[in-house]
Amino acid sequence: MKYLGILILAIGVGLCAAFGARLSDGMYEQTRLGGQIALLEAQTDKAWADYCAAREAAKLEQGECAPPEEADDPPADTPLEAAEDGAEAAVEDEAAQTPTYDEALAAEKAALAGVAPNAEGLSGPPAQARGRWLEARTALVEPRAQKASTPLPGPETRLAGWFELSGMPFLGGLALIVIGAVLGRRAAKAELSGDSKSGDDTRVDFGVAVADLAQKLRALADRAAALDAPTPAQRKEVQAEIEALQLTRFGPIVEARYQLQNRIGLAGFAHVFGPLSGAERWLNRSWSTLADEHWPETRTSLARSAEQMAEAAAALAEELKQAG
């Protein structure tokens, strides 16, 4: 049941995410125009770079290709970039009220007219290269006008448009997620309560493990309390014992915590794990203080750890009694 649940869940997430990813018609159109412009702009930039290379090969002055002047202020645009920026600004100003296609087209054509003339009377490869650039630049006019005159769909329109297109398969996927998750929950519950045939050998008897740990911590704390000035060997022994408790006692209890959660519920689990984690933290502290060679604080920390572990053991007994 567990694997069936995971499989159904995965199919559900796949369906939901795929149909959720689908763009509404309005956004598809915006994306299409944006993509067309981006790729055409890349072609235009490449054509411009080729043109500049052709000028260089023909040993012409940089002319239109001159880089912006070096200055302390923000870099200035080339004459060509300035003309382009001006045109874009004009289109953006109009876009504030979303221009009609004709208005946007007129603005784009005006911008193109500003950069189109071959004012230097170029000839040969540079002129041909400039012609190719102009052709690429001209191809941008219509898509840009179309994009400027197509308003971006608002959030609600996007939501409604998407739901109309993908809502049903998305909801189907969502239902599969819930079915898969419920099956997964049942399987997990069966596994944790021992009804599963999975042969789980990591089961922990919490009543025994927690009581045993509480006892061991109390014994360690009492032994530490009896030592006023431990020798380095005694300190090392205590450190080894702390490390063993951290790894072999706390580790398995923490690892198997979902079994406990399943048995006594989330609130009961919190009731036990609050003091248990406190005991673990105080034990960690005793390790740190031992490493810092501060024996009085080590003794205090071990005592606090034992105290909190006793609290955890009492809480567990109470919760287990309630759970029957």
Partner 1 sequence: MAETQSSGPPTGGIAPYRELTPAAVVFGVLIGIVMTAAFVYIGLKLGFTLPGSTVAAILGFAVLRGVLRRGSIIENNINQTVASGVNNASSGIVFTLPALFLLSATNTDITVEPLPAILAAIGGSFLGVAVIIPLRKQMIEFERLRFPSGIAVASLLKSPGAGAQQAKLLIGGALIATLIHVLANFHILPHEIDVGGPIGLPVYFPLAIYVSFASVGAGLLSGKGGLPFVLGGVLAWWVISPSVVLTEWVPTAAALGFSDAPAGYDGWSAGTVYGEMLRPMGIGVLVGGALAGVFASLPALKSALKSLSQAAKAGSSGGSDELSPTILYMGIGGAIVILFGAAMLSSGSISVVQGIGIALVGTVWLALAGLVVAQATGMTDISPLSGMSLIGVTLMFFMSDGNAVASIVLGVSVCIGIGQCADMMSDLKSGHLVGAIPRKQQIAQFAVGWIGVPVAVGVLFLLWGDGGGFGPSNPELSAPQGAALAGVIDSLGQGAAPLDKYAGGLAIGLGLGVFPIAGLGVLVGLAMYLPFSITLTYGIGCLTSIALGRKLGDAWIGSTLVPVAAGFIIGEALTNLGATLIQLAVG
Binding positions for partner 1, 125-154, rule CB under 8 A: 143, 151-154
294: left (phi over 0), alpha (psi -120 to 50) or beta: beta
Q: Does 291 bind partner 1 (CB under 8 A)?
A: yes
Q: Does 267 bind partner 1 (CB under 8 A)?
A: yes
Q: Are 200 and 206 in contact (CB under 8 A)?
A: no
Q: According to CB under 8 A, which one of 286, 313, 316, 319 is a site residue for partner 1? A: 286
Q: Does 265 bind partner 1 (CB under 8 A)?
A: yes
Q: Is 38 exposed, middle or buried (0-12, 13-18, 19+ CB in 10 A)?
A: exposed
Nearer to partner 1 by Cβ, of 110 and 270: the residue is 270
SS3 35: helix
Nearer to partner 1 by Cβ, of 32 and 216: the residue is 32
Q: Is 122 exposed, middle or buried (0-12, 13-18, 19+ CB in 10 A)?
A: buried
Long-range pairs, 240-247, Cβ under 8 A, ≥24: 242/283, 242/286, 242/287, 242/290, 243/287, 245/213, 245/216, 245/217, 245/220, 245/283, 246/280, 246/283, 246/284, 246/287
Q: According to CB under 8 A, which one of 7, 21, 240, 323 is a site residue for partner 1? A: 21
Q: Does 20 bind partner 1 (CB under 8 A)?
A: yes
Q: According to CB under 8 A, which one of 12, 99, 126, 230 is a site residue for partner 1? A: 12
Count of CA atoms in the C-beta half-sphere (13 A) of 279: 30
Q: Could you give the C-alpha distances from 131 to 120, 122, 125, 126, 128, in angstroms and in order?
A: 13, 10, 10, 8, 5
Q: What is the CA radius of gyration of the chain?
A: 37
Residue 309 CB, nearest approach to partner 1 (Å): 11
Rounded Cα distance, 91 and 108, in Å? 7
Q: According to CB under 8 A, which one of 91, 104, 290, 313 is a site residue for partner 1? A: 290
Task: Candidates 107-115, 118-126, 195-203, 293-301: pick the segment binding partner 1 (CB under 8 A).
Answer: 293-301
Q: Are 64 and 201 in contact (CB under 8 A)?
A: no
Residue 292 CB, nearest approach to partner 1 (Å): 4
Q: According to CB under 8 A, which one of 214, 304, 316, 319 is a site residue for partner 1? A: 304
Q: According to CB under 8 A, which one of 67, 121, 155, 199 is a site residue for partner 1? A: 155
Binding mask 219-248 for partner 1 (x = CB under 8 A): ---------x------------------x-
Give residues 41-100 in contact with partner 1 (rule: CB under 8 A).
42-43, 73-75
Task: Candidates 59-67, 107-115, 117-125, 182-190: pick the segment binding partner 1 (CB under 8 A).
Answer: 182-190
Residue 212 CB, nearest approach to partner 1 (Å): 19
Residue 140 CB, nearest approach to partner 1 (Å): 11
Residue 310 CB, nearest approach to partner 1 (Å): 9
Q: Does 177 bind partner 1 (CB under 8 A)?
A: yes
Q: Could you give the C-alpha distances from 75 to 41, 71, 85, 89, 111, in angstroms and in order?
A: 22, 6, 14, 18, 22
Q: Does 199 bind partner 1 (CB under 8 A)?
A: no
Residue 173 CB, nearest approach to partner 1 (Å): 8
Q: Does 250 bind partner 1 (CB under 8 A)?
A: no
Residue 60 CB, nearest approach to partner 1 (Å): 27
Q: Which residue's entry shows tokens 């920026």?
A: 85
